[in-house]
Amino acid sequence: MKKFVLSLLTIFVLSFTVLPIAFGADNGSDTAASVKKADDFKDLKELSQDEKDKFDALIQDGVFSGLSDDTFGLDVKMNRAQFAKVAAIIFNLKSDEALTTSSFTDVRSDDPANSYALPYIEALKEAGLTNGYDAEGKTYKPEGDVSRQELAAFLIRGLGLDDDAKSATPVEDNSVDDWAKGYVALALEKNLMTNQADGTFGGKVSATRKTLALASYEAKQLLAGATPDDPTTPATPVPTTEPDDEPAAPSGEISPEGKKMLYIARQSNQMQQLKSSPDDEKIIADMKDLGFKVTWINCDKFTAEKAEGYDIIFVSNTVNAKYLRSGIMKDIAIPTIYLKNHGLYYLGLSSQEENTEENNIQTISITQPKEKAAAGLTGDVEYLRKTDNKTAIAYGLPGKEAKVIATIPGKPKEATIFYYNKGSHANNGYEVKARLSFFSFVGDYDNSTDDMWKLLDALVLWTLQNG
């Protein structure tokens, strides 16, 4: 396991050198962790379902338990002793429960508050993940708080992304100390943490058990190759195909199994909106069900260089269009699905930018039923379960070399699903570097029909073939 060297250049590294990827243990009582659920704790009952699922996973894995039988302690500050326990569990470090003496003078077996953490702290030291609290490495300070910016640094360093943090564009946030701005920027980009309700990160604010728990879940998922904010998908290895199994894709086609998808989502300061509008989470879960290995990035953190190494890109409808306006996508030769017509417009692949929505309709018309991207559907297909004057189906106005799969009913120029093949051209002459597709939607995925999801999956898989 990678060892991290104590730096004398910053107060942070002098003060905190435990470098785990997850934090948030309780005071040492684990007896109920395997049988408890989030709804058993009165202060977890009102959380959103996706957060409950994350807490359930952490509780059932023995990473967390409550402060009492019916109270989890969401807003309670977490100290370095609790921090050490979770780090040891997440890293699967061997700890000696029989230990009664510590390498640190302030970690004692007779400490009524923190003695439980002694074997975990020693496990961290043995693994090279801590040098203690002070410069001489004599003390650990088990009762000390962990600030939000320190947590961000722990997460990023623990994931082996220290060099990335040093080269990241620092956050412009006065609540964060200069040394931590790169770490905070990367923690936000990886969706390991989010800003506070006031829009700032609150770097010096002590992290609560809720913050530490959710951050530990996201880091654990990322380490396992999963995507932030997916509480339902365990980190399990991809099964190998036995000789008699059916292939994952028809002969000659690319299977999505294990393919790397970069999912570009809303900008960083809008992440709190996921609680009320979890559309990105739902699409990511669907993509993972198809077999993709999904990584999510905020649109304000995206650069062309960060797309390197991916097999397919998915541009969410939650993206702020201004980040596409610069033409950032024009030289990227990776198959891409757009849920935002603006992305096609900025490449010259759709002739209208704004006002490309139709209200008060529920269906789209399949124009090319024999195309694989049509998912075997024909005629007018119900897209939305219900509609009104505030609910819309989006469209684009593609060029002559586009392949149109579906349109707004009765309006053949308004394409709701279309794609451009690699090597085809926009009307302005732009040459397509890889298959680019547009899929119509404006949001509210609970209002989507099964046929809508079927069409989305079919278009994504077709785009992956990159013809």
| DSSP-derived pairing of the beta strands 336-338 and 436-439 | parallel
**Mean pLDDT for all residues in the chain:** 80
Instruction: Kindly tell me if the per-residue pLDDT of 5 is higher than 50.
Output: no
One-letter amino acid of 53? D
pLDDT bucket at 405, cuts 50 / 70 / 90: very high
The CA-atom distances, in angstroms, between 108 and each of 96, 99, 114, 118, 142 are: 15, 10, 8, 7, 10
Specify the pLDDT at position 240.
Answer: 31
366 forms bridges with which residues in the sheet? 406
Q: Is residue 231 part of a domain?
A: no
Instruction: Kindly tell me if the per-residue pLDDT of 33 is higher than 80.
Output: no
Summarize the confidence of residues 310-326 as an average pLDDT: 91
Specify whether 192 is located in the same domain as 323.
no
Specify whether 403 is located in the same domain as 270.
yes
> Among 222, 248, 282, which residue terminates a domain?
222
- The tokens describing 212, both together, are 């530490």
CB 47, CB 275: distance < 8 Å: no
- The tokens describing 66, both together, are 């409550």
**How far does the chain reach from its first CA to its final CA, in angstroms?**
42
CB 50, CB 159: distance < 8 Å: no
Specify whether 183 is located in the same domain as 96.
yes
How many structural domains are present in the chain? 2
User: Which pTM value belongs to this model?
Assistant: 0.50
Specify the pLDDT at position 21.
Answer: 31
Specify whether 276 is located in the same domain as 201.
no
Report the CATH number that the domain containing residue 422 is assigned in CATH. 3.40.50.880
Please, where are the H alpha helices in 277-432? 279-290, 341-345
Residue range of the domain that includes 303 = 260-465
Specify whether 212 is located in the same domain as 265.
no
Summarize the confidence of residues 165-186 as an average pLDDT: 92
Q: What is the rounded distance in angstroms from the CA atom of residue 197 to the CA atom of residue 209?
A: 17
Q: What are phi and psi of 414, to 5 degrees?
A: -95, 95
